[in-house]
Structures are given as C-alpha cells and as structure tokens.
Amino acid sequence: QQQVKQSPQSLIVQKGGISIINCAYENTAFDYFPWYQQFPGKGPALLIAIRPDVSEKKEGRFTISFNKSAKQFSLHIMDSQPGDSATYFCAATDPYSGAQKLVFGQGTRLTINP
C-alpha cells in the first residue's frame, strides 16, 4: 500500500518559472514531512521539512505548503534554475513506527530548461 502518493512523475519547467510538486498521504499519524533532492548517482539530500502545526515553511527559493485537512503537502521552487534539475522525493514519518522510519513518495524528475 503506497502511503505517500507523489505527482507528477516528471516535470519540465522553464528557467525562472515556478516548479510545483505535490504529495498526498493517508496516515493521519504522520507528523514530519521532509523533501529530499537527489542528483544522479548520489544520495538524497535533505532540502526542507515541515511539521503539521504550520501551514507553510520557506527557505530561500524553496517553500513547503501543508494542508492538514486535505492531507496534502507540496514543494514550490521559485525562480527555478537549471541546477535544480534533479529527482525530488517527498516523505513522511510515523512517530509510532518505533524508529521514525521515512515513507517515501515515488519521486518526481524535474528538468529546468535554460
């Protein structure tokens, strides 16, 4: 059972545009929602994360929007740059899993055209 559904699977955005990636979850026990950026052949890097007690978090050009009632959260990349081209994964943590395991979305391959 896929607990975190991510869309779109791939995304092409022009340089300077806004990239938006969406995730939806079912488990209301999830209480930590990170986004990871992964370049080919590298491990994922923590980009930004949010807890469910806030609706938005911004760090530089990256913003997470969180809608608890809809059980959805999204990543917005403002002024997208070619260097942002990577695969992005949303994830969620269930505090009752015992070890705060991450449940990952399927990933979105983002391409920023120059």
Task: List residues near other proteins by CB under 8 A.
Answer: 32, 34, 36, 41-46, 49, 89, 93, 98-102, 104-107, 109
Q: Shortest distance, CB of residue 24 to other proteins, whole angstroms?
A: 15
Name the token pair of 91: 């994830």
Report the alpha-carbon distance of residue 66 to residue 33 in Å, rounded.
Answer: 9
99 or 114, CB closer to other proteins? 99
The answer to whether the CB of 24 falls within 8 A of the CB of 4 is: yes
- Phi and psi at 83, nearest 5°, equal -70, -10
20 or 104, CB closer to other proteins? 104
Q: Shortest distance, CB of residue 31 to other proteins, whole angstroms?
A: 8
29 or 46, CB closer to other proteins? 46
Q: Shortest distance, CB of residue 60 to other proteins, whole angstroms?
A: 18
71 or 109, CB closer to other proteins? 109
Report the alpha-carbon distance of residue 72 to residue 69 in Å, rounded.
Answer: 8
Q: Shortest distance, CB of residue 16 to other proteins, whole angstroms?
A: 27
